[in-house]
């Protein structure tokens, strides 16, 4: 995950914002408890959302308290206390980080590969600990990455097929958050669409970089050589907006015990906001290059 699954803060109620921030801080502490200081540096909004959703569908009430913060050790802040959802999110973060680093070693330029080589030794032990606790999750991530690599090596120009491995992995991850058959079906669909969104949003974000370096990008391959970059971005934006609208339908079917305002904020507004930020960043860059 890449930080695209986040809240739209201006539309959150004050209580919702404080609860989400406390979960975010709780995940930071859980990463430290489970894997040490390095893991805390990988903290992201994506896994804070995973923890929030896992707590939202669980009947058990999560605990909150005031604890010290590594960034401000003098002042104690509201923090979500350690629970199964935070442990799952921390383990998942380390498993996916390991595979993301491995992918970067294959697909990135020399400068980025050098950075990965420097970071990867610090990620090895956290990955092994997380994989030992959750062998099924680690195996599913490995299979998804292998399937993704095969599609990229084949030069797959089908955007839906290219997003399938990430979507399938996320579907299985979210499905396992509940034991209720009806809830599992909705969570599986939510995970599938969320995985598709993350993959395609990252492809949109990397569009110009992939074009410059000749790297794999399904939007570029679908458009073909010489296609207008603006038209490609508009096409990608349409695909992402469609995915967000379908996630909104899933949100209406989720049976949440708490945090419904936060979950709805992310799925209805936060994801669309991530697409808009990526598009706006590209537009500003283009205007700067044109001297406008």
Q: Can you give the CATH number for the domain in which 85 is found?
A: 1.10.600.10
Does residue 211 belong to any structural domain of this protein? yes
Does residue 209 belong to any structural domain of this protein? yes
Does residue 1 belong to any structural domain of this protein? no
Does residue 3 belong to any structural domain of this protein? no
pLDDT in tens, 148-167: 999 999 999 999 999 999 99
- Total domains in the fold of the chain: 1
Range of the domain at 286: 9-290
SS (H, E, C) the chain: CCCCCCCCHHHCCHHHHHHHHHHHHHHHHHHHHHHCHHHHCCCCHHHHHHHHHHHHHCCCCCCEEEEECCCCCCCEEEEECCCHHHHHHHHHHHHHHHHHHHHHHHHCCHHHHHHHHHHHHHHHHHHHHHHHHCHHHHHHHHHHHHHHHHHHHCCCCCHHHHHHHHHHHHHHHHHCCCCCHHHHHHHHHHHHHHHHHHHHHHHHHCHHHHHHHCCCCHHHHHHCCCCCHHHHHHHHHHHHHHHHHHHHHHHHHCCCCCCHHHHHHHHHHHHHHHHHHHHHHHHHHHHHHHCC
pLDDT in tens, 240-261: 999 999 999 999 999 999 999 9
pLDDT of residue 288: 46
- pTM for the full model? 0.92
Lowest-pLDDT range of 59-68, 130-139, 169-178, 277-286: 277-286
Does residue 213 belong to any structural domain of this protein? yes
């Amino acid at each position: 995950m890449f930080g695209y699954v986040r809240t739209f803060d201006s539309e959150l109620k004050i209580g919702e914002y404080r609860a989400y921030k406390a979960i975010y801080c709780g995940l930071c502490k859980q990463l430290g408890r489970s894997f040490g200081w390095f893991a805390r540096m990988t903290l992201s909004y994506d896994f804070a959302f995973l923890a929030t959703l896992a707590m939202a569908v669980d009947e058990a009430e999560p605990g909150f308290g005031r604890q010290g913060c590594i960034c401000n050790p003098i002042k104690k802040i509201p923090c979500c206390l350690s629970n199964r959802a935070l442990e799952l999110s921390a383990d998942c973060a380390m498993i996916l980080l390991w595979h993301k680093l491995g992918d970067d070693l294959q697909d990135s330029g020399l400068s980025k590969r050098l950075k990965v080589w420097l970071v990867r030794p610090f990620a090895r032990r956290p990955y092994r600990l997380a994989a030992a606790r959750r062998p099924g999750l680690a195996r599913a991530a490995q299979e998804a990455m292998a399937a993704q690599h095969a599609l990229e090596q084949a030069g797959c120009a089908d955007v839906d097929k290219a997003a399938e491995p990430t979507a399938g992995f996320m579907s299985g991850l979210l499905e396992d958050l509940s034991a209720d058959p009806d809830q599992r079906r909705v969570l599986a669909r939510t995970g599938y669409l969320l995985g598709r969104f993350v993959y395609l949003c990252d492809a949109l974000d990397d569009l110009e970089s992939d074009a410059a370096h000749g790297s794999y990008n399904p939007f570029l391959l679908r458009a073909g050589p010489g296609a207008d970059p603006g038209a490609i971005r508009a096409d990608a934006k349409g695909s992402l907006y469609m995915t967000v609208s379908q996630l909104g339908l899933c949100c209406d079917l989720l049976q949440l015990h708490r945090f419904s305002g936060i979950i709805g904020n992310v799925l209805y507004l936060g994801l669309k906001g991530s697409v808009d930020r990526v598009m706006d960043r590209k537009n500003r860059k283009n205007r700067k290059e044109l001297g406008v």
